[in-house]
Structure 1
């Protein structure tokens, strides 16, 4: 039974419509009628875009023009920096949100990542993407490597041990790939750093953030050893690689389990496993926020809706229907979450795995405006070029040049 709680605010006799703009699957479809029932006079109209890329391009265009914004706008964490840089165009949820919604609702790093440089709370956190490691038990066993979730933790303890295990796997399997994509691994590694591609003054950090070059060297060295399958995640070749067992391991934010099951298909059920270990600790990849643009004529009511949707009870419902892992602390003790078992991954208690991984994340990573664009349009194509035989050192210089053109 769904419990309608968490920052509802008083009902209002005025009749009006609140628009809620989302992308992909937030798991809110079944929740909206309940909110309307407990708030007579308020109608919720959800406007959903299937793909996050076009959605965020449209959002940034609307922020530029000041026209067409919804009362509540969802923002994915990879694009959050572009929104935080325009904090004046959003309401401060710490001021207009329900008084019972406190920072302790969320993991500290999730809450802090939703604040702008001037201290404004721009977004209420929805879900997160804590990182674990997924692997093919049958492929590791064939190569003489450990396969049970406890034993594999030593291999996945650090990036050094991970790539060393990959080198052994390639040799023992006679040239089979250890992982699917250099870009996927590099992105996960970068997400573990205190800052991303830009420093806190929003300048390209390729010369000052030494962790970027260290990660680049590790990943490209592994590519040259034959560890990468050279695939593109979520594209036709990447999906075919999942079906055909082309690679043995994959970085796994919580939302990746559904993608693997869908693309690898029923024929690979039980071959995949997951462990609550990730190289060099924890990390996060993914998750979103709900914001209230200042242009909304119903800011307080919109904030109340956003607060209710991001309460633990509602986010647990969203997890059940869409797989989006909650960011709320109270949700982590829910029996429903802790007993979540994934049959496709050999009966793994996936809820417990990702609760453990989420708690390992420390401070939020600082990502400046344009960080996501650098990853998508500069870094990922550059790593693809390395996989196709280009010199890593020369391509690194091209990456620096490309990033400087995007963010002068």
Structure 2
């Protein structure tokens, strides 16, 4: 059980860092670097090793528990031009707002270590960290490759296949997924197939070549037929009773995991820990995961480390950010926090490939998400306001459909709401 069971690998990692971790001679003057993060990045145990091999460097990590308040504070500091850390972590959902202000950040391709090459990362991860003018604003940390999680016991009770190989047919496309959901609702006498329309729709949108905004940062909702098609599919499923109408990460969503209110869930790599924590020990072994996702691969989540232009120690900060996002350190972060690495060399690590999740019936979760990460193609462009559209327009609109509103009428409200966020 990944979030509860932790190996003794850190002890070995720390010794190796001490013995091999130098990135050159010690800094001649004492420098304090501030590292601002949110949630769990898994860096706390790594910092002493870096300081040991860099005697002139002291690292002070400032961690905010919740990502929302953290990013609000970051954007306020960017607007005010002061109070920024030497390294600022940025979550993928807020990256567009940072890339739009790329002039306020150092170009890591210029100030970072010369041996840090684009090939360290999956191509789509690296490219998503670049601004329109080609500046490398962020070094990639983790990713959220998408798989599908499901309750074996609930599918079995409805007469549906349950082993990871057999369920792939059901999860091959969104059409087959929702068709299976319609069958499940009927056979289970009205039980829900998935937890939230917003969660499913978000995953569907993330797969599209073009999302809510074009590269000129204008809304695409009036002309993007793929978006409208996704809306139709997910709202049709809602009308068939497939959605439990829950709010992910809120009390009702967490209770739904514990009580088995729904049978399947869109499952980025980081979701495994949330399911285990919220569903509880009583549901251990009932959940399973498969290396399949409707209409191919996708990504949801992951972060970057950036160096603000205002930092008086840009080169030293970039060196620390480069070190933290090297494969060895990101593998350690995966062990302690479950954050799935975005570095190519990490994907061949025996530790990652042998990672077995007892809560999910002994699934080789490392292999599952390596396979899913390699299915992701070109990154979708996300302009400023993309995350706000999802959070303040789309999610409430889908919630109203789950409460009985007409999908076609709500779509017209969506078109109006989007233009209150972007031109």
| Bucket of the pairwise TM-score, normalised by the shorter protein | over 0.9
Determine if the alignment matches structure 1 residue 403 to structure 2 residue 396.
Answer: no
Does the C-alpha gap of structure 1 residues 214 and 7 become closer, same or farther in structure 2, counting only changes over 3 Å?
A: farther
Determine if the alignment matches structure 1 residue 136 to structure 2 residue 155.
Answer: no
Determine if the alignment matches structure 1 residue 311 to structure 2 residue 326.
Answer: yes
**Contact 2:21 2:50 survives alignment (8 Å):** no
**Contact 1:7 1:307 survives alignment (8 Å):** no
Determine if the alignment matches structure 1 residue 233 to structure 2 residue 227.
Answer: no
Match of 1:120 in 2: 135
User: Which aligned runs of 4 or more in structure 1 are off by greater than 6 angstroms?
Assistant: none
**Contact 1:8 1:305 survives alignment (8 Å):** no
Determine if the alignment matches structure 1 residue 23 to structure 2 residue 38.
Answer: yes
Q: Secondary structure at the match of 1:405?
A: coil
Match of 1:91 in 2: 106
Determine if the alignment matches structure 1 residue 224 to structure 2 residue 226.
Answer: no
Q: Secondary structure at the match of 2:419?
A: helix
Match of 1:344 in 2: 359
**Alpha-carbon distance in structure 1 between the residues aligned to 2:93 and 2:25:** 34
CA apart distance, 1:6: 7.7
CA apart distance, 1:8: 3.2
**Alpha-carbon distance in structure 2 between the residues aligned to 1:109 and 1:145:** 35
CA apart distance, 1:195: 2.2
Q: How does 1:9-408 map to 2 (within 5 A)?
A: 9-408=24-423
**Alpha-carbon distance in structure 2 between the residues aligned to 1:242 and 1:6:** 42
CA apart distance, 1:15: 0.3
**Contact 2:22 2:54 survives alignment (8 Å):** no
Paired residues in the alignment total 408
Q: Secondary structure at the match of 1:290?
A: strand
Q: Secondary structure at the match of 2:420?
A: helix
Does the C-alpha gap of structure 1 residues 95 and 87 become closer, same or farther in structure 2, counting only changes over 3 Å?
A: same
**Alpha-carbon distance in structure 1 between the residues aligned to 2:23 and 2:238:** 51
CA apart distance, 1:7: 8.9
Compute the TM-score of the two structures, normalised by the length of structure 1. Answer: 0.99
**Contact 1:178 1:227 survives alignment (8 Å):** yes
Q: Which runs of 5+ in 2 are unaligned?
A: 1-11
Compute the TM-score of the two structures, normalised by the length of structure 2. Answer: 0.95
**Contact 1:9 1:98 survives alignment (8 Å):** no
After superposition, the C-alpha distances for 1:65-124 in whole angstroms (9 at most, x for unaligned) are 101000000000000000000000000000110011000000000000000000000000
**Alpha-carbon distance in structure 2 between the residues aligned to 1:176 and 1:198:** 35
**Alpha-carbon distance in structure 2 between the residues aligned to 1:42 and 1:244:** 49
After superposition, the C-alpha distances for 1:290-317 in whole angstroms (9 at most, x for unaligned) are 0000000000000000000000000000
After superposition, the C-alpha distances for 1:351-380 in whole angstroms (9 at most, x for unaligned) are 000000000000011100010011011100
- C-alpha RMSD over aligned residues: 0.9
Does the C-alpha gap of structure 1 residues 10 and 395 become closer, same or farther in structure 2, counting only changes over 3 Å?
A: farther
